[in-house]
């Protein structure tokens, strides 16, 4: 199944901004994080199809997944 993966801010470094990638049926958000070699503690916010999501969520063909690192400021 095709999933579009978007990475933001520091998660893009050495990776990509946006890619459509092929995954097996039943793939979870967490499996994508692992496949991209991103430490899970570096992913603070996850959206699937513009809705907040958890790492255990199983994805469907055509989903768009966005990963954001912790956001700081002050």
Q: What is the pLDDT of residue 72?
A: 76
What is the rounded CA–CA span in Å between residue 74 and residue 34? 31
Residue 71's pLDDT is 84
Mean pLDDT per 10-residue section of the chain, whose length is 74 residues: 98 97 98 97 98 98 98 73
Distance CA 17, CA 44 (A): 17
Nearest to 46, CA basis, from 21, 20, 27, 65: 65
Length of the chain: 74
pLDDT of residue 30: 98
Can you read off the two tokens belonging to residue 6? 């978007």
pTM of the predicted structure, to 2 decimals: 0.93
Domains of the chain listed by start with CATH number: 2-68 (3.10.20.30)
Residue in the structure block whose two tokens are 């199983």: 58
């Amino acid at each position: 199944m095709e999933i579009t993966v978007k990475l933001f801010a520091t998660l893009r470094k050495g990776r990509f901004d946006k890619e459509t990638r092929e995954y097996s049926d039943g793939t979870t958000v967490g499996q994508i994080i692992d496949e991209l070699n991103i430490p899970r503690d570096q992913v603070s916010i996850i959206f699937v199809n513009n809705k907040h999501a958890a790492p255990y969520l199983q994805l469907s063909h055509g989903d768009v997944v966005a990963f954001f690192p912790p956001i700081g400021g002050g």
